[in-house]
Amino acid sequence: MRVRTSSRKTASPSGAGSGDSSSITISVFATNDRLRTLRSAFARTPAAPGTGVNTPRQQVNTLSSFIDASNVYGVDPQRLEWLRVGPVDGDMSNNGARLMLTADDFLPSVDARGDPSTAPAMDLMGPLVGTPNRAVVAGDVRANENIALTALHTLFAREHNRIVASLPSSLSAEERFQIARRVVGAEIQYITYTQFLPALGVRLDPYHGYDSAVNPGLSNEFAVVGYRAHSMIHGEFDTTVPAGTYSDAQLAAFAAQQVVVEPDGDQVRLEIPLAAAFGTPDLLKDLGLGPVFQSLSQRQYENDEQIDNALRSVLFQIPKPGIADPTVCGVPAVNPDCFSGVSDLGAIDIARGRDHGMPTYNDLRRAYGLAPKTSFVDVTGEATQRFPVDPLINPRDPINDPNILDFVELRDADGNLVAPGSDAAEEEVVLGVRRTTVAARLKAVYGTVDRLDAFVGMVSERHVKHTEFGELQLAIWAKQFSALRDGDRFFYRNDPVLRFIDHEFGIDYRLTLAEIVKLNTGVTLQRDVFKFAG
């Protein structure tokens, strides 16, 4: 397992129940940590009409389940018309072929067409709560969440416009728009099925074409349990650029936003904490698309039961009234006087499963044709589910003793021991052994495997060989991505229009993500961006 290096000692998060007024204890740190224990209300997913009263509560997906580039174009005509160049008058026929971008090819802000209140709704988080007019607009309401996500939305908007520019002007604007949209959707599907899924070890049965009997909708189990691979997220973005890429004033501005700036000869290294990149689309413009994509080529964490503290203590920061500049609150350490709450994404993942009525871990295994587990060591593959006799652990209440999470052994990618507290521990550690096993901690919290939350059990499973998943998560992903493929009559391998486009205009959708980055930013990345080049 990859180690989330931190000086903090964290106790296990506790998820709330599914009551309407439920709340979550966010994080409990040692007394020398600046973060106090805060509580944040847990917002339940709205119930589908007609459910939840004398009937099981159900939820509705607000976006398309299809992998169809709706994150670029949206799922309703009003958003799409706003995103396309041309007037917003309810008549799409007078819109241009291109998507609206700024002069320097970034996503438009909400005030790009004048009154920001008329722009399509976008989710606001972090600093954007206090400065909503700085939000950018994309097909997906979540595009402002962090600079990496904003960068991907920007990339494919640029890709759309690149394809439009390559089409003959003899075609109408609508024809050029629809061709580019068809290709971009196929590109995202092609990347998903030929790069992303194989990199994680997901192998699907052979494709036999469109099957009208297959439901391509997203299952509750996939959306609420299986797809939540939050432990893979690194707590910072690291990138190195040639000296002179940014002016001294720009570097000072980065430092003021809690970005660590380290000049090193003819290069400058930037360490961007996730919290500083959260809800700050302006930071993407200041950094540039290329350096951000370079930062995403760093080694990420393995998919397991550990979640970076950046997601467990400073995610979804909500500034209190009167805090105009949330950066004064400190990143990644949080001044609780600045914020009304800080959220623990792991705890939210647990609570969300309970909110949606997910079955227990063993019941979900049974639903996917897997045998139930009989012990916690059977889940994790470890040697014991007992706490050790250790003078540093309180024998009367070990689960609430932060010492149980101490790392007693650290190793780098080559298996070499790394000294705790050393520079290497911050940069090179990929494997850590804690003072206690995951199985022991799970037993102390749940008592029996049959009470285990589906999400917790899923991320605690030992991985199937050559994959990033345990048995349950692998089964959920394989079933869902097979359905998204087989139940989509416009899937790229079933769409004859794509062959026509290639034949007539020489536009081939079969590009790697690295190639699309190169075409639209000039930055060269490793061929398979989903695998660490080092």
Q: How confident is the model at residue 257 (pLDDT cuts 50, 70, 90)?
A: confident
Strands (E), 196-299: 236-242, 260-264, 267-273
- What pLDDT score was predicted for residue 32? 36
3-state helix, strand, coil in the chain (%, to 5): 40, 10, 50
Burial class (CB in 10 A: 0-12, 13-18, 19+), 217: middle
User: Which letter does DSSP use for residue 373 in this model?
Assistant: P
Lowest pLDDT segment from 20-34, 290-304, 369-383: 20-34
What distance in Å separates the CA atoms of residue 284 and residue 287, rounded to the nearest whole number?
A: 5
Rounded Cα distance between 487 and 48, Å, is 24
State the distance between the two ends of the chain, measured CA to CA, in whole angstroms: 18
Residue 426 has pLDDT above 80, yes or no: no
pLDDT of residue 171: 98
Spell out the residues 6+ positions from residue 506 whose beta carbon is closer than 8 angstroms to its own.
none
Task: Supply the pLDDT for residue 212.
Answer: 97
For 177-208, the pLDDT digits (tens) are 999 999 999 999 999 999 999 999 999 999 99
Q: What pTM does this model have?
A: 0.89
Q: Mutual orientation of helices 496-505 and 173-191 as an angle, nearest 10°?
A: 120
69 within 8 A of 157, measured Cβ to Cβ: no
For residue 14, pLDDT beyond 80:
no
Q: What is the pLDDT of residues 486-496, one digit of tens each?
A: 999 999 999 99
Is residue 411 exposed (0-12), middle (13-18) or buried (19+ Cβ within 10 Å)? middle
Arch. (CATH architecture) of 70-228+483-521: Orthogonal Bundle (1.10)
57-62 average pLDDT score: 88
pLDDT > 80? residue 328: no
- Specify the residue for token string 């048995």: 471
Q: Is the pLDDT of residue 323 over 70?
A: no
Q: In terms of Cα–Cα distance, which of 175, 128, 182 is closest to 150?
A: 128
CB distance 111 to 133 below 8 Å: yes
Domain range list for the chain? 70-228+483-521, 231-344
Region 116-129: mean pLDDT is 91
**Vertex 136 angle, CA 133 and 137, to 5°:** 115
State both tokens at 145: 């969440």
- What is the mean predicted confidence (pLDDT) over 209-214? 98
Chain mean pLDDT for the chain: 87
Please state the rounded mean pLDDT for residues 253-273: 92
Q: Which two tokens stand for residue 270?
A: 């930037």
- Two structure tokens written together for 97: 């072929």
Residue 453 pLDDT level (bands cut at 50, 70, 90): very high
Local structure of 416: helix, strand or coil: coil
Report the distance separating Cα 361 and Cα 118, nearest Å.
45
C-alpha dihedral sign at 330, 311, 8, 302: negative
Cα–Cα distance between 196 and 383 in angstroms, integer?
33
- pLDDT band, very low/low/confident/very high, at 23 (cuts 50, 70, 90): very low
Count Cβ atoms within 10 A of the Cβ of residue 333 and give its class: 0-12 exposed, 13-18 middle, 19 or more buried.
middle
pLDDT at 31 over 60: no
Higher pLDDT, 299 or 379: 379
Burial 440-464 (b: 16+ CB within 10 A, else e): bbbbbebeebeebbbbbbbbbbebe
On the question of a cis peptide bond just before residue 332, with omega within 30 degrees of 0, the verdict is yes
Does the pLDDT value for residue 64 go beyond 50?
yes
Q: What is the pLDDT of residue 4?
A: 42
Q: What is the pLDDT of residue 187?
A: 98
Cβ-contact 150, 141 below 8 angstroms: no
- pLDDT grade for 250, boundaries at 50, 70 and 90: very high
Contact status, residue 437 vs residue 462, Cβ threshold 8 Å: no
pLDDT of residue 312: 80
Q: Which residues contact 49 (CB under 8 A, 6 or more apart)?
A: none
- What pLDDT score was predicted for residue 274? 87
Mean pLDDT, residues 425-440: 86
Q: What percent of the chain has pLDDT over 70?
A: 86
pLDDT band at 318 (very low <50, low <70, confident <90, very high): low
Give Dmax over CA atoms of the chain in angstroms.
Answer: 80
Pairing of strands 429-434, 407-412: antiparallel
Most confident of 29-43, 98-112, 287-301: 98-112
Region 237-245: mean pLDDT is 94
